[in-house]
Amino acid sequence: MNALATLNYYFLRYRRYFGTGSLCVIISSLFGVFAPVLVRQIIDILPVLEALNRLGAWSAFEPALVGLRYVVLTGYSLMIVGVSLLSGLFLFLTRQTIIVASRHIEYDLRNRLFAHLERLGPEFYQRYATGDLMTRATSDIERVRLYVGPAIMYTARSATLALLALSMMLLISPTLTLYTLLPLPVLSGVIFLAARLVHERSEKVQAQYSRLSVRAQEALSGVRVLKAFAQETFEQEAFEREADAYRRRALELARIEAIFSPAMVFLIGLSSLIVLWVGGRYAIAGRLTIGNIAEFFIYLTLLTWPVASVGWILNMIQRAAASQERLLELLRYEPRKDTRSPEKGNIQGHFVLENVSFRYGPDRPWVLEGVNLEIRPGQYIAFVGPSGSGKSTLMRLLVRMYCPSAGRILLDGKPFEELDEEVLRAQIAFVPQEPFLFSETIAYNIAFGRPEATRAEIEQAARLAALDWEVFPQGLDTRVGERGITLSGGQRQRVMIARALIMQPRVLVLDDALSSVDLATEARIIGAIRAWRADRTLILVSHRIAAVQEADCIYYLEGGRIREMGRHEELLARGGAYSRMFRRQLLEAELESINGGDQGYRGP
Ligand code: ATP
């Protein structure tokens, strides 16, 4: 329940809505309990009217009596309708304030969560699946909204209505009220028990719903892989298993809810029976009027809703507490510190790595160990090595996506982690291994980091990245579909490169970002980027040595360590792992060209 206390801020923030809403609830309830009083009065007046009628029949008073009857009956009817209308009107105003406030709070919560999620680092996204986050951002927020809106409104209405109805009942007859309330302890017990069961079961429903969402989300986003491996039936069965578990849990919940309502109706019916039995005897003894009994019945009906809704509201509050806890779990996740430094300026791109080691978690194996290297401004540096040797990880450290677990990185002589985040993001451009495009136009995707870029700049970046946009139906204004699905792998990678180039970065880091284009194009793009601004630092990872042999320095990584380094010729002369890798690639290329494969190979 402590989780819900964190929402008090919002009650304060929207206090005007909640204040007005509470006032409207009280007024609506006051009118609500006043209607039975009118019913009692008219019922008690009826015998008087009837007696007068009998006395005055066939007398000179008859027309006056008819008029009186007409005025009294119509007057009371109009008053009852008027009072009910006013009660309804204020109930409408309650909804208009409290429910509206809950929508504002929902909006605030959603924006806060999204802003927070945007600031979280890659470690966070490694831990939480997208489907799980989607469930929290939608259905958990909705459950919290049900607490700050409907639950608060129904609590206020139930409490005032119950209080007023009970006061009126006590005024009429304290003993009859006590008799009527006899089933109440049993009722409270039933409600408490049911609320606990409902809470437990709805927790299970929600957890299963999250699992179902994750399954559906992954199957849909990976639908092509799924089809390529003909795993539709397997996936369908797995999905059905999750959906079936969800259905079973939802049915367990529905079963409890189904028992709960009839039990409530039965216990309330018991109270009506007591009113009829005890109240009837009091009326016969002359201690109460018939009108009082009718009034009592109406109060009992009015009480039904507050009593019946207690369990429901408790359940709503418990669900909201669990959901808010799930949201707080995300919000408590420490966002990466945005290093803001007053020193802006340009970076030169001089990296020094001193004994840098890295692992993806304290209980994970070391991915990089004791890496020492220096990259000077304007240099062209390449990293090669077998798969899993830590090349991508090193690139992620160079763009400060992660910080070293041991050792340190200096940029332009300053500790890397102290440099201004904005400056780094603007001046170090990173193209990761897997391209990610937004379902917008190609131009939008290229200008993503610089929305103010002109058309000419977008075209220049696209040209440098060797993106042949004329082949698309609407050129650069062609929409690329979800994640760029309508483009080829190589085209997607080139859009990503153009997106990095348009930032005019001082340092460009390409992590195997041209793996889907042929060797000749890869070498051409690298050449074009270098010729474009020779003073910029270019750091890249490639699996193809022939594409990077002109680098100022090539590092050969293996098992998270630098095994060899130097220029292409030096490394070849050494005859180590690098030259073996090169010879192997050369052989593969020759075999391919014999088989009519890659025509673009340039040779050593
Ligand atoms: P490739 O050439 O295949 O892209 P690489 O040399 O770039 O490989 P990395 O991607 O840096 O290698 O991976 C190095 C090691 O770190 C691998 O053993 C991999 O399992 C592990 N690793 C990579 N990313 C993560 C991650 N996000 N969480 C945990 N471990 C990771």
Q: How far does residue 567's CA lie from ligand 1's centre (Å)?
A: 25
Question: Which residue has a Cα nearest atom 1 of ligand 1?
Answer: 387
| Cα gap 101→15, rounded to integer Å | 9
pLDDT (tens digit, 9 = 90+) per residue, 483-512?
777 778 888 888 998 998 888 888 989 888
Query: What amino acid is encoded at 486 in this protein?
Result: T
Q: What percent of the chain has pLDDT over 70?
A: 96
Give me Rg for the CA atoms of the chain. Answer: 38
Backbone φ and ψ for 562, nearest 5 degrees, come out as -80, 115
The mean pLDDT of 471-491, rounded to a whole number, is 79
**What CA–CA distance (Å, rounded) separates 489 from 493?**
6
Listed in sequence order, the residues at least 6 apart from 95 whose beta carbon sits closer than 8 Å to its beta carbon are: 153
Q: Which numbered atom of ligand 1 lies nearest the CA of 543?
A: 2
Q: How far is the CA of 83 from the centre of ligand 1 (A)?
A: 72
Q: Residue 338 has what pLDDT?
A: 66
Residue of 127, 367, 431 to test ligand 1 pocket, by largest number of atoms within 8 Å of CB: 367
Q: Is 479 helix (H, G, I), strand (E, B) or coil?
A: strand
Q: For ligand 1, is residue 191 a contact (CB within 6 Å)? A: no
Alpha-carbon span 271 to 259, nearest angstrom: 19
CA angle 64, 44, 301 (to 5 degrees): 135
Atom nearest to 396 CA in ligand 1: 11
**From atom 17 of ligand 1, which residue's Cα is the shortest distance away?**
388
**Residue among 391, 396, 563, 581 whose CB has most ligand 1 atoms within 8 A, to mutate:** 391
The CA 360 to ligand 1 mean position distance, Å, reads 9
Q: 361 CB under 6 A from ligand 1? A: no
Q: Which two tokens stand for residue 198?
A: 């409902």
Beta 553-558 vs 366-375: how paired, if at all? Answer: unpaired
Q: Is the distance from CB of 411 to CB of 351 less than 8 angstroms?
A: yes
The helix or strand, by DSSP H or E, that contains position 575, with its residue range, turns out to be: none
Q: How far apart are CA 181 and CA 175, in angstroms?
A: 10
Evaluate whether 366 touches 357 at the Cβ level (below 8 Å). yes
**Residue 21 predicted with pLDDT over 90:** yes
Given CA atoms 6, 12, 15, 19 in this order, what sign does their dihedral have? positive
Query: What's the CA-to-centroid distance between 115 and ligand 1, angstroms?
Result: 28
**Pocket residue to mutate for ligand 1, from 368, 387, 392, most atoms within 8 A of Cβ:** 392
Q: What pLDDT sits at residue 602? A: 42
Q: Which of 126, 128, 360 to mutate to test the pocket of ligand 1 (most atoms within 8 A of CB)?
A: 360
d(CA 383, CA 218): 32
358-399 pLDDT, tens per residue?
Answer: 998 888 899 999 889 999 988 889 999 888 899 999 999 998
* Test site for ligand 1: of 363, 369, 389, most ligand atoms within 8 A of the Cβ: 389
Per-residue pLDDT band at 28 (split at 50, 70, 90): very high
Rounded mean pLDDT, 295-305: 84
Mean pLDDT value across residues 427-442: 87
- Find the 544 Cα to ligand 1 centroid distance in Å: 18
Among 280-289, 321-330, 540-549, the minimum mean pLDDT is found in 540-549
Furthest-apart CA pair in the chain: how many Å?
Answer: 135
Beta pairing partners, 411 = 351, 414
Token readout for 402 is: 């992660």
Provide the phi-psi class of 28: left if phi over 0, else alpha when psi is between -120 and 50, else beta.
alpha
Indicate whether residue 59 lines ligand 1 (CB < 6 A). no
**Per-position b or e across 139-166, b if 16+ CB within 10 A of its CB:** bbbebbbbbbbbbbbbbbbbebbbebbb
Q: What is the pLDDT of residues 33-60, one digit of tens each?
A: 898 899 889 988 888 888 877 777 667 7
Average model confidence (pLDDT) for the chain? 85
- Confidence tier at 79 by pLDDT (50, 70, 90): very high
Atom of ligand 1 at shortest range from CA of 361: 29
Nearest to 526 by CA among 431, 398, 453, 591: 431
- Residue nearest ligand 1's atom 3 by CA: 387
Ligand 1 pocket, residue 391 CB under 6 Å: yes
> Given phi > 0 = left and psi -120 to 50 = alpha, else beta, which region is 432?
beta
Q: What percent of the chain has pLDDT over 90?
A: 23
CA of 463 to the centre of ligand 1 (A): 32
Tell me the three-class secondary structure of 12-51, residue by residue.
HHCHHHHHHHHHHHHHHHHHHHHHHHHHHHHHHHHHHHHH
Residue 393 Cβ < 6 Å to ligand 1? yes
Nearest CA among 425, 397, 431 for reference residue 538: 431
Q: What pLDDT sits at residue 343?
A: 65
pLDDT of residue 342: 63
Q: Is the pLDDT of residue 603 over 50?
A: no
174-180's contacts with Cβ under 8 Å and 24+ in sequence apart are: 175/278, 176/275, 176/278, 176/279, 176/282, 176/288, 176/296, 179/274, 179/275, 179/278, 180/271, 180/274, 180/275, 180/278, 180/296, 180/300
Q: What separation in Å is there between the alpha carbon of 291 and the centre of ligand 1?
A: 82
Q: What is the 3-state secondary structure (H, E, C) of 307-366?
A: HHHHHHHHHHHHHHHHHHHHHHHHHCCCCCCCCCCCCCCCCCCCEEEEEEEEECCCCCCE
Tokens 């332009």 — which residue? 412
- Is the CB of 124 inside a 6 Å radius of any atom of ligand 1? no
* Ligand 1 geometric centre to CA of 148 (Å): 45
DSSP-assigned states of every residue in 427-464: HEEEE-SS----SSBHHHHHGGG-TT--HHHHHHHHHH
Question: Cα 34 to chain center, whole Å?
Answer: 45
Higher pLDDT, 490 or 539: 539
- Among 43, 316, 295, 266, smallest CA distance to 164 is for 295
Higher-pLDDT residue of 281, 182? 281
Residues in the chain: 604
Q: Cα separation of 604 and 602, whole Å?
A: 7
In a 13 Å sphere around the CA of 327, the CA atoms on its Cβ side amount to 30
